[in-house]
Amino acid sequence: MSLRRSALRSAVQVEIPVLLILVFALAPFAWMLLTSVKPTADLSLFPVRYMPSRITFEHYQLLIERTSFSINLLNSLVIACGAVLLGLATSVPAAYAFSRFRFPGRRQILTSFLVINMFPIVLLIIPLFVLMRKLGLIDTFLGVIIGHSTFSIPFSIWMLVSYFNAIPRELDEAATIDGASRLQTIRLVIIPLIMPGLVTTAIYVFITSWNEYLFAMMLSGQTVRPVTVALQLFIGEFTVQWGLLTAGGALIALPVSILFLLVQRRLVAGLTAGAVKA
């Protein structure tokens, strides 16, 4: 779509709708942020008190000083990065094979990657726990990361296959004719082309792993406990620590948003367009 629009048209057709969507996306989050800086006495009032009677950062302070939240954040980061690495390292070659080769069993294997994604995890978790215990992987980063690969690998393979398929095969052939080996073709031609897809998939795996609770709860112990599990500790049987919970939520959303702010530049038109033409 043309970049040539007047400022007014852009405002009416694009910026205002974007603003409306952002309001929908952010209103509950803003409510959460607001809650996180309210003194506890302001919560659960009727009628609702919108503006804090005073702004306080005590919940954040408690969160950092009195609980293990900062370590949990770090653990989450390790696990999510590990899940991205393991997920991409295994699924990029696999997706490439599914996209570029025709071999017996191809469709069946590709479909079965989806099928294994269909079992409700709640039922797989106990056998998986037993298995992880046998492998000695309970309460290790590797254990949680491998657990997360149950959803990250199938997803990544399927998404990447469609991104690979979107790239004309003539490009591979052209590179091969130019004398490049298969691995060179992948590294120099294909990977740069599917960068937006790769980034998107990585984001997906990162976020899903970052937010995952059930695997993390079962497979982690005190040593590698991520934030989602730590957060659950704020929801007791008889009390919910709203202040801690909302402050924790804000701190959890922050790194992901920053990460996305950094990588979204990769999601720009033109990267592939030019290459396809060449």
Partner 1 sequence: MKRRTFVKLAGASAFAGAVSAPAIAQGVTTVRWWYHYDNPQNTPAALIAKFEQANPGIKIQAEAIPWGGGTDYINRMFSSVVAGNQPDCAMVRLAYLSRFGQMRALEPLDGYLTKWAERSDISDDVWKLNRAPDGKQYYMPLHYVVIYLYYRQDLFQQAGLQPPKTFDEFLNCAKTLTKDGMYGYGMRGGGGCHDNWGPFVLGGGASFDKGGMLTDKALAANRFFVEFATKHKVVPPSAPTDAFRQIVDAFKAGRTAMTIHHIGSAAEMVGALGDKASAVPLPRGPGGGGWTYFGDESNAIFASSKVKEAAFKWVSFLSSGDGNVEQAKLSGQLPITTSGLKNWTGHPKRFVEASFASLPIAQTLPDNVKTPDFVGRVLPTNLQRALLGETNPDEVMKAVEQLFHG
Partner 2 sequence: MAPPPPGTAVQMNQAAIRTLTPYGFLVPALLVTALVILYPVAQTVLFSLQDYLLYAPDDARFVGFRNFSMALKDEVFWISLKHSAVWVGGIVFAQLSLGLVTALLLNQSFWWRGIARALVIIPWALPSVIIGLMWTWIFDFNTGVLNDLLIRIGLISQPYAWLASPQSALACVMLALVWQGFPFFAVMILAGLQTVPKELYEAAEIDGASEFRQFIHVTAPAIAGIVATAVLLRIIWVANSLDVILVMTGGGPGYTTHTLPLYAFLRAYSGMEFGYAATLALMLTILLLAIVWLYVRQQAKDLDA
Give yes or no for residue 256 binding partner 2 (CB under 8 A): yes
Q: How many CB atoms lie within 10 A of CB 277?
A: 6
The CA-CA-CA angle for residues 189, 190, 196, to 5°, reads 120
Q: Which of residues 208-227 bind partner 1 (CB under 8 A)?
A: 217-218, 221-222
Give yes or no for residue 123 binding partner 1 (CB under 8 A): no
Token pair, residue 238, equals: 């008889």
Q: How far apart are CA 51 and CA 65, in angstroms?
A: 26
Residue of 190, 194, 229, 252 interacting with partner 1 (CB under 8 A): 229
Give yes or no for residue 50 binding partner 1 (CB under 8 A): no
Alpha carbon 195 to chain centroid distance? Answer: 16
Give yes or no for residue 53 binding partner 1 (CB under 8 A): no
Q: How far apart are CA 120 and CA 126, in angstroms?
A: 12
Residue 240 φ/ψ, nearest 5 degrees:
-110, 125
Smallest gap, in angstroms, from Cβ of residue 72 to partner 1?
A: 11
Q: Binding segment for partner 1 among 78-86, 155-163, 186-194, 233-241 (CB under 8 A)? A: 233-241
How many residues comprise the chain? Answer: 278
Residue of 56, 67, 68, 117 interacting with partner 2 (CB under 8 A): 117
Give yes or no for residue 127 binding partner 1 (CB under 8 A): yes
Contact 114, 52 (CB under 8 A): no
Give yes or no for residue 116 binding partner 1 (CB under 8 A): no
Q: Which is nearer to partner 1, 125 or 171 (CB)?
A: 125
Q: How many CB atoms lie within 10 A of CB 186?
A: 18
Give yes or no for residue 145 binding partner 1 (CB under 8 A): no
- Positive or negative CA dihedral for 138, 140, 144, 147? negative
Residues binding partner 2: number (CB under 8 A): 113
Contact 144, 216 (CB under 8 A): yes
Q: Binding segment for partner 1 among 27-35, 100-108, 130-138, 264-272 (CB under 8 A)? A: 130-138
Q: How far apart are CA 252 and CA 210, in angstroms?
A: 9
Q: Which is nearer to partner 1, 19 or 135 (CB)?
A: 135
Smallest gap, in angstroms, from Cβ of residue 2 to partner 1?
A: 51
Give yes or no for residue 218 binding partner 2 (CB under 8 A): no
- Using CB distances below 5 to 8 A depending on partner kind, what does residue 55 bind out of partner 2, partner 1, none? none
Give yes or no for residue 191 binding partner 2 (CB under 8 A): no
* 3-state SS, residue 68: coil
- Using CB distances below 5 to 8 A depending on partner kind, what does residue 166 bind out of partner 1, partner 2, none? partner 2
Give yes or no for residue 22 binding partner 1 (CB under 8 A): no
| C-alpha atoms less than 13 angstroms from C-alpha of 159 in its C-beta half-sphere | 21
Q: Which is nearer to partner 2, 3 or 65 (CB)?
A: 3
Residue in 30, 28, 20, 33 with CA at minimum distance from that of residue 60: 33
In the complex, the residues that contact partner 1 under the rule CB under 8 A are: 40-41, 44-46, 62, 66-67, 125-127, 129-131, 133-136, 138, 217-218, 221-222, 229-230, 232-241, 244
